[in-house]
Amino acid sequence: MVSVTVSTLGRPKLEKVNSGLDGVVVAETVVSEVDGKLGRLIIKGVDAETLGFTSTFEETCSLLWQGLVPETMTLAEMKQAFYQGRCEAFQLAQENLSLFKRSEPMEVLRTTTSLLSGGIEKTLAAYIKIAAAVGFFAATWSRVQKGLEPLAPDANLSQAGDLLRMLTDKMPTAEEIAALDTYLTTVSDHGMNASTFTARVVASTESDNVSCVVAAIGALKGPLHGGAPGPVLEMLNEIGSPDKAEAWLVNELDHGKRIMGMGHRIYQVRDPRAAIFEKAISLLEEQNHSGSERLLLARAVERNAERILAERHPEKPLKANVEFYTAVLLDTLKIHHLSFSSMFAAGRVGGWLAHIAEQRALGRLIRPASTYIGSHG
């Protein structure tokens, strides 16, 4: 066995390593602001709750890309361009149907998105083509898994409306479309998260837009970033009723397990997106004149989880995060839980593209440093 001594002689003093980049500012951005202390999310100058309940996904993308892309479109032109983007994606899906038969939705989304053509254009047409396709591919995977064929896009429907029609195989109501628009808009951007940073790193190399988005999808595929909404639904199904919530949660924690949908790396208070989705579910129920046992259960689980976690970890605030009510909202819209992460990508792609445009304008390669701690021979 060879013994190796690592010498620092003649080398610069070691800098403190921040492996997770917590608190490290890597860019100035106009796209969004996340206030972890106050629990506030601002998207292009608009509070996320206001935007979520007043904007369609097309309008949200227009806002996100405004000032970062030189040209503008009317809402009618945006809607038509998204329809054309879904039509191009439909053609690709027909030509590559076997890809959608794979069982892992994010793997399929990553692969099918990579089939899109394009360069480094900063144009609305180029961005809409990608954004429309990501949502279409996510919905088409769900259809094919049910034994259904890809569904040709409907020019009369918005992006949210057409995706719901494909996902549920029925014409959605105006209230259901509004709820999905709330979801897609609210998740469209969220500061310098892992997938957004990934997209910006790739954009800084002057790679093409599709490669940037495919890389971002790869980052979102990781369970520490985009993989928790499904398990929340499984948790709620296991608990079953509000009166069983406390005992179930205590048992999970006693066995060293995590409570899904609780806690966030940035927020010290309740995730504002959880509040938006809870309200969206409530509105959907009021409009449909229906009561949801699932929403009552979710609220009971959240209350109990927050209290129990505060008792066990008073030093660490663990409140409901975006995944908690994402699960309930998308389930209420009859979207299968295996599609939750890919539907998240269908919304977040709007923000990814805004950050890609912003990074391209800087014209500087992202190239951080590292500290070598190995042998010098």
Please tell me which residue in 58, 176, 190, 264 is annotated as part of the active site: 264
330 membership: H or E segment, kind and range: helix 322-332
Element (H, E) at 116: none
Give the pLDDT confidence score for residue 291 in this predicted structure: 55
Residue 160 has pLDDT above 60, yes or no: yes
Tokens at 42, concatenated:
């601002």
Domain ranges across the chain: 32-225+336-362, 229-332
Q: Helix, strand, or coil here: 96?
A: coil
> What fold is seen in the domain 229-332?
Cytochrome p450-Terp; domain 2 (1.10.230)
- Position 22 scores a pLDDT of 76
Q: Which of 252, 302, 323, 358 is catalytic?
A: 323
At residue 299, the pLDDT reads: 95
| CA 96/CA 222 separation, integer angstroms | 25
Say what the pLDDT of residue 286 is: 84
| Amino acid identity at 44 | K
Which residue type, as a one-letter code, is found at position 272?
Answer: P
Residue 294 has pLDDT above 80, yes or no: yes
pLDDT of residue 179: 97
With pLDDT > 90 as the criterion, what percentage of the chain qualifies? 79
Residue 112 has pLDDT above 90, yes or no: yes
- Compute CA distances 258 → 8, 177, 249, whole Å: 41, 33, 9
Question: For the segment 189-232, what is each residue's pLDDT rounded down to a tens digit?
Answer: 999 999 999 999 999 999 999 999 999 999 999 988 876 567 88
Burial 41-57 (b: 16+ CB within 10 A, else e): bbbbebebbebbbebbb
Catalytic residue flag (residue 264): yes
Q: Clarify whether 306 is annotated catalytic.
A: no
Q: What is the pLDDT of residues 87-108, one digit of tens each?
A: 999 999 999 999 999 999 999 9
* Residues found in the chain: 377
pLDDT of residue 7: 42
Q: Which CATH number does the domain 32-225+336-362 belong to among 1.10.580.10, 1.40.20.10, 3.40.1390.10, 3.20.20.150? A: 1.10.580.10
pLDDT surpasses 80 at 261: yes
Q: What is the pLDDT, as a whole number, of residue 3?
A: 43
Q: Does the pLDDT of residue 1 top 90, yes or no?
A: no
Which of 64-68, 83-87, 313-317 is least confident? 313-317
Which residues are paired to 331 by β-bridges?
none
Asked if residue 220 lies in contact with residue 106, where contact means CB atoms within 8 angstroms, the answer is yes
Topology alike, domains 32-225+336-362 and 229-332: no
Q: What is the DSSP letter of 366?
A: -
Choose the weakest-confidence range: 13-22, 77-86, 95-104, 185-194.
13-22
CB 123 within 8 A of CB 209: no
Return the pLDDT at 15: 65
Confidence of residue 2 (pLDDT cuts 50, 70, 90): very low
pTM (two decimals): 0.92
pLDDT, residue 308, reads 96
